[in-house]
Structure 1
Amino acid sequence: MDVPRPTLRALLSRHGLDLRLASDPADLPADALDREIRWVHSSDLLDPTPFLSEGLVLLTTGTQFADADSDADYDAYVERLRRRGVLGLGFGTEVVRDGIPAPLLRACRIHAIPVWEVPYRTPFIAVARANAEAIAAAAYARRTWALDAQRAVAVAALGRRGTDAVIAELSRRLDAWVAVVDAGGRFLHEHPAGRLDADAAERVRVEAVGLTARRVAAGGSFTVGDTPVTLQTLGHGGGQGVLAVAASLDEQARSVVTTAAAIAGAAGERRADVDHGREVLAAGILAAIDRGDDSLARAVADAAGIHLPRPPVGVAVAPHPSPHLMTALSRRPTLLVVRHESEAIILGPPNGTEVALAAVSEPVGMSVAHSWDEYRDALTRARIALTRGHTGLVRFEDAAQLGMLAALGHDDARQLAEATLEPLRAHDREHGTALMPTLVAWIGAECGHDAAARTLEVHRHTVRARIEQAQRLLGLDLTTVAGRSQAWAALTASGALNPAATT
C-alpha cells in the first residue's frame, strides 16, 4: 500500500483545501517540504512558542500583527518560531486582511520557513483534520506493512533454507544489510553479502562478540559512519549469537526484526539440540571403536547419518579446544569431531585432517591409524606429539624424526632433571666443590677421566674422586650404561649439557 507520508508537500497538495505555497522553493532547504508534520496548531498570539512543540506547523490569521510598526516585529516573530522547531506557517487570508503581509514573507524567506496561504473558505480545522488523517493513514499502512513482513519472514522459515531464508527476506523487507553473527564472531548468514565494508563488518563482529559474552538477552546499537546498526541477541540467554541490521528502525520495523530474531533463535536452539544428540552418538561411536567393535561403530554412524572415515584414518587430539575451533571443525563434513572430557578427538582422512588443521593456532597433535586396531596407539601417539610444546599442528611422525632428544625439552623432563641434579648443586654451594661441572665435563668426554681432566685442567685422579662422590650423591652407578644414561639425560634435559657435544 503506497500511502504518502504526512509532509507539508502532501498537505499542500491535498485536494479540496486549496492551499497555496507563497514561498519560493529555491529559498528553502531541500527537505523543507518533505519533513513529517506531527501536528497542526493554530494561534494568533504574538509569541505562541510556550504552547508549541517541535515538528508541527502553525496556522494564524495575523491578528497579532495589528500593532506591528516595523519589519523587525515580523522578523522577531518568525525567528521565535524557527527556534522552537516550527516546520511552516499557514496564513489565513481575508479574515483580518487580504493576502500575506510582505514583511512576513521577507522574514520567512530570511529564516527559511515555508509560508503558505489558507483561503477564507478553508477552515483551519479542515487543515488540521487533513494532516491527522494523513498521520493515521501512514500509521495504518506501516502497521499493515509490519504484519505482512512478519508473515513473510515466518513463511520463509518453513523452507529448506531455514534461517538463511529468514535473513534474506528480512533484508528485502527492510531494504537493508542484515546478518547473523555467532558467539565466536563468524558471519553465518549475510544479505546482501559484502554490502558492509571491512571496517564496519569488523565493528559489528566485535560488538556481537561482546554482547553474546554477557549471556543475557539484550540489544544494542551504534553508528558506523552515517549508518545506524542495531543488534539483537539470539536464543535463550542470548549466547547463541546476534542478529545485526544496518538501518534506522522505527517501531514497526523493530517489531519485524524482533520476529526474525525469535525465529532465528528458535531455529538455533533446535539446531543446538540436534547437534548435542549427534555429539552423544559420535561419542558412542568412538567408544565402540575404542573397544575394538568397529562394525557396531560403522552401523551406528550409517544409521545416524554421521560420517565415519575408513582407514587409514588421521587421529588428532586438541586439548581444551576453544568454541571457535570446535565450530570450525564441526563444519567439515569429512571429519568426525568428538568432545571427550577436556579434549577434542578428530578423525578423518589423513590428508583432509591435516589440511583442516594446518591453519589452526591452538596446539593439536596428530597421528595416523592404518586400521581401527591401531586407533588406541594412534591416539597415544597424537597425545605424545602434543608434549613437544608447539602451537598449531604437530604430527607424531614429524616429532618422531627428532628422536628421543625432543622429549627431553619438555617441561616435565626439565623439572625432573633439576630435581635429580639438585644434590650436586647443593653440595657445590655448601662446600665450594665442583662436582656439577666435573660431571658435565666427564659425560661430555664420553666418561673419559683423562679427557675430562684436560678440560677442567685438574689431575685425572681428582676427576675420578669427584665422579665417585657425585654418584653417591645422585644414587647412580656411573660405572654402568644405565647409570651413565640417566646422568646424561638429566644433564641434557636441564640444559647443562649440549647433546651435540657427546655425539
Structure 2
Amino acid sequence: MKPTVQTLLDRGDLALTLLTPAGALPHGALDATVQWAHSSDLVDPSPFLEAGNVLLTTGTQFGADSGVDDPAGFDAYVARLRASGVAALGFGTEVVREGTPDALVAACTAHGLPLFEVPYRVPFIRVVRTIADLNAADANARQAWALAAQRAISLAALRPDGLGATLAELSHRLGAWVGLIDAAGTLDRESPVGGLGQPALGEVVGEARSMLRRGQRAGRSLEAGASVGRPQRMTLQTLGGGGALRGVLAIGDSPELDAAGREVVTSVIALAGLALEQNRDLDRARGHLRAGLLRSIIAGDLDLAERVSAEMWGPLPASPVRVAIADLPPEHVDRLAEFLELRVDERGGHLFFGRDGETLVVILEDADTGIAEELANEFDVPVGVSDAASVDAVADAHEQALRALERARETGPGVAWFDDISRQGVLAFLARTDARAVARATLAPLTEYDTANGTTLLETTRVWLEHGGQFDATAQQLGVHRHTVRSRIALAERLLGRDLSGFHARADLWAALLAVG
C-alpha cells in the first residue's frame, strides 16, 4: 500500500507530531497518498512541487525581510502550497526556530493542510528515505499481485469454459463487476451474475452497442446509474481489431485499477480476444455450412437442410415462411452473424439464415417478421421481404425478396415489403431496370425538340396519355385549346415515327415515360 500522511505520523522512528487538529482537516486529508518528499526554505517553492508531495522546511524563509512573518504572509504561503497539491507540510524545529510558528499552524488549519513537526533528532533525509522505501515496497507488492493475478487468470483460461473462468477470476482479483458484451450487443457473461443492476446495466450495454456500431477499437469511461443517484464508474474496452470487433469488456470501479491492475486487465483483453478469435474461426466454418444449406433450400432440396439444421440449430421454419434479404455491412459482417445466431438460439431453430454473396438471406416464419425491422434498425441496412409462402416455394419467395431489396436500396436503410410493391403494378419496376436507357432513347426526339425550341411536347404527351388520349381533358389540364393539343400530338407522332392511335403504341410510350421517371 502506498504511504499516506497518516502512515508517516504512525511511524515511531520518525516521531512526527501533527499540529493541525485532525477534526479541522478536510475528510481524507490524512489519507492522501504521499508520492515524494521535498525540502525547501524558499518563500514560494510551489514551482518545484507536484501533487502528492510532502514539503519539509526549517523556516528560514519566515524572517522579517521575507514578508512572511505576519499572519497574512503565512496565509499566502500556505495558500500557494495548497494550490500546488501538497499533501502535507513538515516543519523541522530547533534548526532556525525553537518551535513551529503559531501563525503557520493557524494558516494550515484555515486551509486544511496537514502540518506536522519534525524533531531535531530526525533528519529530513530519513523522512525522504522512508517515503521512498514505502513506495518501493508498494510497487513490489503490486507487481507481485499482478504476477499472481496473471498466473491465476492464465490457469483459468485452460478450464472448459476458459472465457467465463477468465472473467470470473478477473472479477475476483479486482473485487469488481466484470461483463462481456458480445458482437451482437448482448450481455454474454458477467461476474458476479446479477452484480450490476438496472439502470446501470442497460446504460453499459447501450454504450457498448454504440461502440460496436462505430466498428473502431476504443476505450471509454462511463458514469452508469447516475439517473437514480447511484453513479458507478465503468470502464469499457472493445475486443478485436478495427472493422472486426468481437465484443466489449466492461469493468466496474475498483481500487485495484492502478498501473498493475491495468496490466492484468490488458492480459485479460488479450486472452478474451484470442478466445473470441478462435470462436470466429468456428463461426466462419458454420457460416460456410449455412451458405451451402441455403443454396440447397433455394434449389428445393429440403431433406439435407432439414437433417443438418435439426442437428446443429433446431428445425427449419415452418410454413408459411417469408424470405428477408439484407445487404451485408462490410464492417459488421461478424456482428450481424452473431446477432442472428443469438436469435436462432432464442427460437430453438425456427429461423434460418445464410450468406449469399454480398447479401444475407433469412428464412423466417410469417409471424416472426419483426426480425427484418431489427436488422434494418440495428445495422442501418436496406432489407427486402417477400410475401408469405410455403417452405417448398422458397425459390419464388427469394426472388420476391430480391426485388424488394432493390426497392429498399433506393430509399436507404429500412424494410421494403414485396406485397407493397406488387400492388403498384408491373410497370412500376420499369424505372428500376435496364429499360431506363431504352426509354431515354425512345423519348430522345421529343426531349431534343423541346430543348431546341422551348416547347413542351414531352409534357403534353404525358398528360394526354394520363387522360387516355382525350384531347379535351388534356387541354383543360394544360390550359390550352384542344386544337393546340391535337397539333402537338401530331408533331410528336412525326418526331417519334409512330402512330399513337393504337393501344400498343400508347402503352409502349407510357412505359418509356415511367422508366425515365
The aligned residue for residue 9 of structure 2 is 12
Show the 5 A alignment for 1:441-460: 443-444=465-466, 446-447=468-469, 457-458=481-482
Please, which of 446, 453, 472 is the counterpart of residue 424 of structure 1?
446
SS in 1 for 2:386: strand
Quick check: 2:239–2:269 contact (8 Å CA) kept in 1?
yes
Quickly say closer, same or farther: Cα 1:440–1:254, change in 2 above 3 A: closer
Asked if structure 2 preserves the Cα contact closer than 8 Å seen for 1:230 and 1:244, the reply is yes
Given the alignment, which residue of 353, 357, 365 partners 2:372?
A: 357
- Residue range with higher mean Cα deviation, 385-394 or 157-166: 157-166
- Alpha carbons 2:471, 2:482 under 8 Å: kept: no
The answer for the alignment partner of 1:367 in structure 2 is: 386
Give matches, 1:189-338, under 5 Å.
Answer: 192=196, 194=198, 196=200, 212-213=215-216, 232-236=237-241, 239-240=244-245, 241-243=247-249, 245=251, 247=253, 249-302=257-310, 304-305=312-313, 308-321=316-329, 323=332, 327-333=338-344, 334=349, 335-338=351-354
Residues 445 and 452 of structure 1 are in contact (CA less than 8 Å); yes or no, is this contact kept in structure 2?
Answer: yes
Amino acid at match of 2:283: D
State the secondary structure of the residue aligned to 2:30.
Answer: coil
- Counterparts in 2 of 1:293 and 1:110: CA distance versus 1, 3 Å: closer
Q: For residues 476 and 95 of structure 2, what CA distance do their matches in structure 1 show?
A: 126
> Secondary structure in 2 aligned to 1:36?
coil
C-alpha distance in 1 between matches for 2:176 and 2:425: 59
CA 1:416–1:185 in structure 2 vs 1: closer, same or farther (change >3 Å)?
farther
Aligned position for 2:424? 402
- Equivalent runs, 1:40-79 vs 2, <5 Å: 40=37, 49=45, 53-54=49-50, 55-58=52-55, 62=58, 64=60, 72-73=68-69, 79=77
Q: Cα–Cα, structure 1 residues 66 and 265, in superposed 2: closer, same or farther, change >3 Å?
A: closer
TM-score by length of 1: 0.74
Which deviates more, 424-433 or 335-344? 424-433
Deviation at 1:290, TM superposition (A): 3.7
- Matched residue of 1:332: which SS? helix
> Could you tell which deviates more after superposition, 11-20 or 410-419?
410-419
Q: Which residue of 1 aligns with 2:414?
A: 392
Structure 1 residue 24 and structure 2 residue 46: aligned?
Answer: no
Report the Cα distance in structure 1 between the residues aligned to 2:261 and 2:512, rounded to whole angstroms.
71
The change in CA–CA distance for 1:473 and 1:137 in structure 2 (over 3 A counts) is same
- Name the CA distance, whole Å, in 1 between partners of 2:179 and 2:288: 30
Q: Which among 338, 342, 347 is matched to residue 363 of structure 2?
A: 347
**Equivalent AA in structure 2 for residue 115 of structure 1:** L
Q: For 2:81, give the aligned amino acid.
A: R
C-alpha separation between the residues in 2 aligned to 1:331 and 1:147?
A: 36
State the alpha-carbon separation in 2 of the partners of residues 105 and 56 from structure 1. 19
Q: Deviations over 1:236-259 (max 9, x none)?
A: 568425545565842112112201
Distance 1:310 1:155, change over 3 A: farther
What is the letter of the counterpart of residue 421 of structure 1? L
Cα deviation, residue 440, structure 1: 4.6
Quote the Cα distance in structure 2 between the aligned partners of 1:52 and 1:439: 88
User: Are the counterparts in 2 of residues 19 and 117 from structure 1 also a CA contact under 8 Å?
Assistant: yes
Q: How many angstroms does 1:314 deviate by?
A: 2.0
Mark the structure with the bigger radius of gyration: 1
**Deviation of 1:10 (Å):** 1.8
Q: 1:482 maps to what in 2?
A: 504
1-side partners of 2:323 and 2:222: how far apart? 46
| Mapped contact 2:63–2:69 kept (Cα < 8 A) | no
Q: 1:332-375: CA deviations, max 9, x gaps?
A: 204322222222211122322x1211342533222257455423
Separation of aligned partners in 2, 1:128 and 1:430? 95
Contact 1:94 1:119 in 2 (8 A): yes
Aligned residues: 482
CA RMSD of aligned residues (A): 4.8
Return the alpha-carbon distance in structure 1 between the equivalents of residues 199 and 136 of structure 2: 35
Residue pair 2:170, 2:178 contacting (<8 A) in 1 also: yes
State the distance in 1 between where 2:473 and 2:43 align: 111
The residue type paired with residue 382 of structure 1 is A
When normalised by structure 2's length, the TM-score is 0.72
Of 32, 36, 39, the residue aligned with 1:35 is 32
Shift in Å, 1:469:
6.1
2:81 corresponding residue in structure 1: 82
SS at match of 1:257: helix
Query: Is there any run of 5+ residues in structure 2 with no aligned partner, and where?
Result: none
Worse overlay, 225-234 or 358-367: 225-234
Residue-by-residue CA offset, 1:14-69 (whole Å, 9 max, x unaligned) = 345543322222443333311122234667x5779599643343556x58489779
The 3 A distance-change label for structure 1 pair 151 and 479 is: same
What SS is found at the alignment partner of 1:397? helix
Give the partner amino acid of 1:351. Answer: A
Does the Cα contact within 8 Å between 1:47 and 1:77 map onto a contact in 2? no
User: How far apart, in 1, do the equivalents of 2:293 and 2:269 lie?
Assistant: 35
